[in-house]
Structure 1
């Protein structure tokens, strides 16, 4: 008793590729998410050292407090007018006219206080003004 038919036309084997592709896709995503990239250097380089021949420009420091008081190089300045602040700056730059004004304004100082300091610097003939800031933590 042979129950098998002699001529079977659809006797081909089929491999279902959809589950295989799904597994491979999950593996690619896993490897991409968990891979770490490091930069390895091939050479150990010791950088040269040099000294700068350009000296830093002398500075005049103007501190502005949160309540609008001014201190030029550590001495209090009358904040009554812009001209009074400019006169104090003129006295500070007599020794070195190429001095840079470094403004150290409090974070709570008003915008008007800083603008007044910049106007006084213009009146005093100071062309370079730098602003000091702290690094963000």
Structure 2
């Protein structure tokens, strides 16, 4: 093999890229033609459909249980007083119609003892009410 020319000048190597590009294009065409796009794994989802608006009677009701600073309990407009958990439970069951599962909204004064709020929560749980929430008052300027 002769690497140098007679004059001692070195010839620059030449790399022809055209055959390389041709081979890559043929491979791409082959892959695009032979590839099949099939949906082998599908997840069937049955989306809910909107019905007519619910009548007002079927909307969930809310019952407000207010607790004053001294611990007196009011269910709606009826005073339960400083009764025990059993008294509050009995008042809840007497005031709220049987079979309905309303949301119990607890409105407690800022100076209400925490134990009294827990007593109302326990009475609602024992009476079978599963939805419980708290009402808060926003103070302007904070």
Q: Post-superposition shift, 1:96?
A: 5.3
Output aligned runs, 1:83-94, within 5 Å.
Answer: 83-94=86-97
Output aligned runs, 1:7-26, within 5 Å.
Answer: none
TM-score, length-scaled by structure 1: 0.57
Q: Post-superposition shift, 1:80?
A: 2.4
Output aligned runs, 1:20-59, within 5 Å.
Answer: 53=53, 56-59=59-62
TM-score, length-scaled by structure 2: 0.55
Instruction: State which structure, 1 or 2, has the greater radius of gyration over its C-alpha atoms.
Output: 2
- Counterparts in 2 of 1:119 and 1:53: CA distance versus 1, 3 Å: same
Q: Post-superposition shift, 1:81?
A: 1.1
Cα deviation 1:106-128 (Å, max 9, x = unaligned) = 01101001000000001111101
Q: Partners of 1:116 and 1:59 in 2: how far apart?
A: 19
How many residues align? The count is 86
Q: Partners of 2:86 and 2:106 in 1: how far apart?
A: 17
Q: Does 1:68 align with 2:71?
A: yes
Aligned to 1:113: 116
Aligned to 2:131: 128
Q: Partners of 2:70 and 2:61 in 1: how far apart?
A: 28
**Aligned residues: CA RMSD:** 1.9
Gap regions ≥5 residues in structure 1 = 1-51
Cα deviation 1:67-96 (Å, max 9, x = unaligned) = 000011111104221001001111122255
Q: Partners of 1:74 and 1:109 in 2: how far apart?
A: 19
Gap regions ≥5 residues in structure 2 = 1-51
